[in-house]
């Protein structure tokens, strides 16, 4: 008879990584550095608030490189979020480049978590701070601890599609070079917004991050160029660490909601984790204001909370809505592009 492994809330570590860095936010244009940083702080509060509503005793950690100002530091403290500073070897490296300031900090976080100082948990859920947890993940966590599989989110990129400088094909070939064996099956390119990793795998992933990084630094750059994000490195490191990797797509969805691009298809209500990269200044900001005014999300059950999220985010399928509003939105997007060069 199959025996279910029921993890206690205390054995789960929910964490996000945020590196304070200069540069524009790739998915939410802002006028100033301060407005950009505070936009991310608000997202953190909403993200951790949504987790704490469901997991009263889980470990919550923010990995960062400097103290947060008030009132955000106090707000995180009220949610029981532990703030941890770790080394910044990867994120500050000049060897590689990308258009996502601070994204390589995830690699430093994995190294920190692989050390004995940060043990005391059975499973790591590492997610972006523009994610919302809408319901508990009990069955998912049971499956992870029983199978000891690593789960990551697969955006479904075609093999030859270049995403921020690398493709599944180029990463597979790079891994073939490292292992001195041609891989016949292309590896997946995982989105960096969600990783579910049993604690025992973290040391191996940290070692494999180093292997790929060191090889790219010496030999790989001349073949594959110098563009690397944490998604590229983590995808290769995870592929090296496990023969079988679980697809977290049943539990996570990257939901784009811009006027010119939407991935809303009506199935969102059954997905426990919403990643909302284009809602940093809109829906997530509205949820943050609600959190302030209502002193948190703790008084809401799942139905009430999800109704609140759907109201504040306002999902709309492509092609739905008022024609005049759509024309205005297109005009606004065009004007913004002409003024700023950004969509």
Q: CATH no. for residue 132?
A: 3.90.550.10
Number of domains in the chain: 1
In a domain, 4, yes or no: no
Regions of the chain short of the pLDDT cut 50: 1-2, 322-325, 327-330, 332-343
Answer yes or no: are the C-beta atoms of 78 and 68 closer than 8 Å. Answer: no
Backbone angles phi, psi at 183, to 5 degrees: -85, 125
Residue 3, in any domain of the structure? no
Sequence-distant (≥ 6) Cβ neighbours of residue 35 within 8 angstroms: none
State how far the Cα of 223 lies from the Cα of 216, in Å rounded to an integer. Answer: 9
Residue 191 lies in a domain: yes
DSSP 14-75: EEEE----SS--TTS--SSHHHHHHHHHHHHHHHHHHHHHH-SSSEEEEEESSPPPTTHHHH
Predicted pLDDT of residue 25: 66
Contact 80, 52 (CB under 8 A): yes
The answer to whether residues 319 and 76 touch, using CB atoms and an 8 Å cutoff, is no
Q: Is residue 311 part of a domain?
A: yes
**Is residue 185 domain-resident?**
yes
Secondary element (H or E) of residue 198: strand 191-198
Domain span at residue 260 reads: 9-340
**Residue 274 CB neighbour total at 10 angstroms:** 23
Does residue 1 belong to any structural domain of this protein?
A: no
Q: Residue 260 has what DSSP assignment?
A: S
């Amino acid at each position: 008879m199959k025996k279910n492994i029921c993890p206690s809330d205390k054995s789960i570590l929910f964490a996000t990584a945020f590196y304070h860095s200069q540069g524009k936010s790739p998915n939410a244009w802002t006028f100033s550095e301060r407005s950009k940083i505070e936009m991310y702080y608000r997202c953190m509060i909403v993200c951790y608030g949504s987790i704490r509503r469901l997991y009263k005793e889980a470990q919550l950690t923010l990995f960062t490189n400097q103290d947060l100002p008030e009132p955000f530091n106090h707000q995180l403290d009220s949610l029981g979020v532990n703030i941890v500073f770790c080394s910044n070897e990867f994120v500050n490296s000049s060897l590689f480049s990308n258009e996502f300031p601070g994204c390589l900090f995830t690699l430093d976080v994995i190294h920190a978590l692989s050390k004995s100082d940060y043990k005391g948990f059975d499973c790591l859920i590492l997610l972006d701070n523009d994610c919302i947890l809408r319901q508990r993940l009990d069955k998912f966590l049971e499956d992870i601890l029983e199978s000891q599989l690593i789960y990551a989110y697969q955006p479904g990129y075609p093999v030859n599609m270049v995403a921020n400088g690398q493709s599944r094909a180029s990463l597979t070939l790079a891994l073939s070079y490292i292992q001195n064996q041609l891989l016949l099956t292309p590896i997946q390119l995982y989105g960096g917004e969600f990783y579910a990793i049993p604690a025992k795998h973290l040391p191996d992933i940290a070692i494999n991050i180093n292997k790929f990084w060191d090889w790219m630094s010496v030999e790989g750059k001349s073949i594959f160029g110098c563009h690397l994000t944490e998604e590229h490195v983590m995808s290769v490191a995870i592929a090296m660490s496990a023969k079988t990797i679980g697809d977290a797509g049943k539990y996570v969805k990257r939901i784009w909601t811009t006027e010119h691009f939407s991935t809303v298809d009506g199935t969102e209500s059954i997905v426990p984790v919403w990643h909302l990269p284009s809602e940093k200044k809109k829906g997530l900001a509205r949820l943050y204001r609600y959190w302030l005014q209502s002193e948190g999300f703790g008084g809401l059950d799942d139905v009430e909370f999800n109704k609140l999220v759907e109201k504040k985010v306002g999902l709309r399928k492509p092609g739905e809505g008022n024609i005049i509003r759509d024309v205005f939105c297109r005009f606004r997007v065009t004007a913004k592009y002409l003024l700023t060069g950004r969509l």
